[in-house]
């Protein structure tokens, strides 16, 4: 096991832990650049979804994972970003300006929603953001002059400085670039005083306040930044989905975003990306399973001569084809993750790494968390 | 409609338990031809037992974890229940026949017995719950558990049992509400979500953890929705409760009947 002795403050806030880590991230970047050459168009499209969900994940990770504020209405911000961007594009505003305006609008909305949030914690905040999301969804439906209502709204391919992002691969690179920039920006914020203030608020508001953290300011900043990143993701989302309708940005979508950060692992940007991979790739995997399971089991049944296996396979296939099953699978995974691995995929990854680096000496309790028996904040 | 008082846990699966209750009652009445009242009882008992089972198997494991975990857990459970319901009962819309189909004229206003039954049952349910929580040993023990689990445990309260009971009661109440609502909203797999959201609005407006508050909150939400639907442009009706909810949270977060909570380290 390598142990890093930190002798200077600069070492503690470095972007990469050491040269080796930086090299591994370089390799990852190389793979991302090379992928479109190797894969077919369908898979490039799916990986583009991973990038867009990754940006959403960063947004929610800042709020939920780092500042400790729950939001059940983040799909609303995504929708605001998407619709604003699409609207201004239709007006003929250039792409970069349009994205900037969309981000500004979502930031403003984030601040407005964040204001009441300063007075609320925990569950009240969750309900308030939920209410906000419901209202915004109704606005999308009714404000037909801007959003087109239920008829929806078509979004063109992006054109930046005269270059048209026509095919999947070019849009893939655009999303990858924006994701990388967002990651860099967020990581820089997180290792600076802002990020430390957020973490302090998450761990104990009272302690943070006593250390001189301006609670209202930093919570507002967290909300505004989260909304801004979500607006950015919304702009890309609009291009990717190509046709906006109000029912996309439902509460279920907000919950899916929360699922993303929880499955990924709260409190780490890597977790946001892990979660994005999971959430973006699960639906296509279910779709593949839908046909693959009955087929393989049928062929297995004919090979072995046991008819029951084929019947079971058909049953599973039929089950997966029913509407609404996907939401249930998401719910099941959410429950299992919370029960089995509250630290998420990234937490599991960290544990695996520690297991191998300390090989025979691994202790389970290294990651044991103190239980905190719920105590009411009511004082009579 | 919500049992928050005892657990300080918010159950986002409440709406889906409500839906399950309605479906079970429907099955009992229509498919098996059981009497309405007996099937009411069956549904309430089954869902109540199911709530206790849920606590035993799933929810007990997250005791000691942040509130956030419970919120997400119940959301996940709700999604599973919805899928379960849509797979078993399909996505059709059902109507539950009830014995209350006639109408009465009181002072020139026509009241259908269905609505009267809902009002009466709500009042009775709230009354019973209120008495239970403030005047019985068990109810007070539940409140104590909600305020400080460790202290309650030290005082000899069987915290685990209390938790199971609380979930059982809350699930049973949800089922009862679902059966009462069934004739009005009709039964389908998504009925729970819409109702649960409005119930949250009602609970917040009235003040979380206060039963009279929940009643008043529910009535005011219902009235506002009606008036907004009648007088304001279309589309406001659906959002009015939530706008009220947001303003309420911004202006008076503890709700109309809530007690302003002090904070302790």
- Per-residue pLDDT reduced to its tens digit, B129-179: 778 877 888 877 877 777 777 777 788 788 788 888 888 888 888 888 777
Whether residue A270 lies inside any domain: the answer is no
A375 → closest Cβ in B82, B148, B238: B148
Whether residue A287 lies inside any domain: the answer is no
Contact B246 A338 (CB under 8 A): no
Tally the domains of chain A.
1
Whether residue A64 lies inside any domain: the answer is yes
On the 0-12 / 13-18 / 19+ scale of CB atoms within 10 A, A100 is middle
The residues that bridge with A243 in the sheet, in sequence order, are: A154
On chain B, the residues whose CB falls within 8 A of the CB of A126 are 10, 71
Whether residue A137 lies inside any domain: the answer is yes
Chain A within 8 Å of B64 (Cβ-Cβ)? yes
Whether residue A350 lies inside any domain: the answer is no
Q: What pLDDT band is residue B109 in, cutting at 50, 70 and 90?
A: low
Q: Are B196 and B1 in contact (CB under 8 A)?
A: no
All structural domains of chain B with their residue ranges? 14-189, 191-258
pTM: 0.82
Whether residue A323 lies inside any domain: the answer is no
Which among A100-104, A127-131, B36-40 has the top mean pLDDT? A100-104
| Backbone dihedral region for residue B108 (phi beyond 0: left; psi -120 to 50: alpha; all else: beta) | left
Q: What pLDDT band is residue A51 in, cutting at 50, 70 and 90?
A: very high
Q: Is B149 helix (H, G, I), strand (E, B) or coil?
A: helix
Residue A107 pLDDT > 90, yes or no? yes
On chain B, the residues whose CB falls within 8 A of the CB of A64 are 68
Nearest CA in chain B to A251: B193
Contact B86 A323 (CB under 8 A): yes
SS (H, E, C) A7-19: CCHHHHCCCCCCH
The stretch B84-108 carries a mean pLDDT of: 64
Residue A66: domain span: 41-250
DSSP string of A57-78, one letter each residue:
HHHHIIIIIIS----S-HHHHH
Q: What pLDDT band is residue B256 in, cutting at 50, 70 and 90?
A: low
Distances from the Cα of A220 to the Cαs of A108, A130, A260, B128, B248, in angstroms? Answer: 11, 18, 23, 43, 20
Pairwise CA distance, residues B84 & B81, whole Å: 5
């Amino acid at each position: 096991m390598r142990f890093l002795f930190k002798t200077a403050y600069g070492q503690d806030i470095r972007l990469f832990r050491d040269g080796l880590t930086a090299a591994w991230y370089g390799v990852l970047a190389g793979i991302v650049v090379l992928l479109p050459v190797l894969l077919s168009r369908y898979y490039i499209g799916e990986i583009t979804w991973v990038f867009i969900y990754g940006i959403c994940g960063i947004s929610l990770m800042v709020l939920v994972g780092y500042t400790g504020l729950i939001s059940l209405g983040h799909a609303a911000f995504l929708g605001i970003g998407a619709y604003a961007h699409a609207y201004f594009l239709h007006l003929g505003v250039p792409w970069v300006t349009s994205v900037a305006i969309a981000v500004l609008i979502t930031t403003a909305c984030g601040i407005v929603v964040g204001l009441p949030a300063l007075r609320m914690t925990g569950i009240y905040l969750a309900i308030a953001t939920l209410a906000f999301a419901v209202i915004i969804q109704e606005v999308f439906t009714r404000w037909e002059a801007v959003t087109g209502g239920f008829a929806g709204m078509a979004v063109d391919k992006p054109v930046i400085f005269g270059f048209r992002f026509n095919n999947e691969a070019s849009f893939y690179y655009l999303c990858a670039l924006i994701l990388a920039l967002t990651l860099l920006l967020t990581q820089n914020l997180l290792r600076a005083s802002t990020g430390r203030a957020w973490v302090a608020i998450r761990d104990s508001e009272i302690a943070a306040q006593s250390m001189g953290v301006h609670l209202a300011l930093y919570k507002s900043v967290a909300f505004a930044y989260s909304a801004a990143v979500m607006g950015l993701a919304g702009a890309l989302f609009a291009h990717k989905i190509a046709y906006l309708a109000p029912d996309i940005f439902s509460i279920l979508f907000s919950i899916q975003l929360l699922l993303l950060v929880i499955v990924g692992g709260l409190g780490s940007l890597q977790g946001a990306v892990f979660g994005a991979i999971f959430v973006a790739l699960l639906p296509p995997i279910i779709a593949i399973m839908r046909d693959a399971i009955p087929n393989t089991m049928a062929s297995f049944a004919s090979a072995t001569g046991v008819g029951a296996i084929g019947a079971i396979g058909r049953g599973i296939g039929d089950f997966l084809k029913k509407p609404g099953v996907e939401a249930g699978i998401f719910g099941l995974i959410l429950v299992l993750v919370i029960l089995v691995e509250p630290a998420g995929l990234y937490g599991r990854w960290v544990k695996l790494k520690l297991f191998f680096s300390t090989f025979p000496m691994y202790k389970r309790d290294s990651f044991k968390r103190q239980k905190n028996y719920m105590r009411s904040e009511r004082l009579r | 409609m919500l049992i928050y008082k005892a657990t300080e846990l918010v159950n986002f699966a409440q709406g889906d338990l409500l839906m399950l209750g309605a479906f079970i009652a429907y099955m009992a009445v229509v498919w098996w031809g059981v009497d309405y009242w007996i099937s009411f009882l069956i549904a309430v008992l089954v869902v109540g037992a199911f709530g206790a089972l849920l606590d035993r198997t799933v929810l007990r494991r997250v005791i000691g974890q942040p509130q956030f975990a419970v919120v997400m857990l119940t959301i996940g459970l709700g999604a599973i229940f919805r899928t379960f319901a849509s797979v078993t009962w399909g996505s059709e819309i059902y109507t539950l026949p009830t014995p209350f189909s006639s109408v009465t004229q009181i002072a020139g206003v026509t009241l259908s017995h269905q609505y009267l039954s809902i009002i009466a049952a709500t009042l009775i349910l709230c009354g019973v719950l209120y008495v239970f929580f403030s005047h019985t040993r068990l109810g007070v023990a539940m409140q104590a558990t909600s305020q400080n689990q460790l202290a309650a445990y030290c005082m000899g309260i069987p915290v685990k049992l209390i938790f199971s009971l609380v979930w059982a009661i809350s699930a049973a109440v949800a089922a009862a509400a679902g059966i009462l609502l069934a004739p009005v909203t009709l039964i389908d797999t998504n009925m729970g979500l819409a109702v649960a959201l409005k119930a949250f609005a009602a609970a917040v407006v009235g003040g979380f953890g206060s039963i009279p508050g929940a009643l008043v909150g529910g009535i005011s939400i219902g009235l506002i929705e009606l008036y907004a639907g009648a007088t304001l442009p279309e589309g406001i009706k659906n959002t009015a409760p939530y706008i009220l909810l947001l303003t309420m949270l911004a202006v008076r977060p503890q709700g109309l009947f809530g007690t302003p909570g002090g904070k302790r380290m």
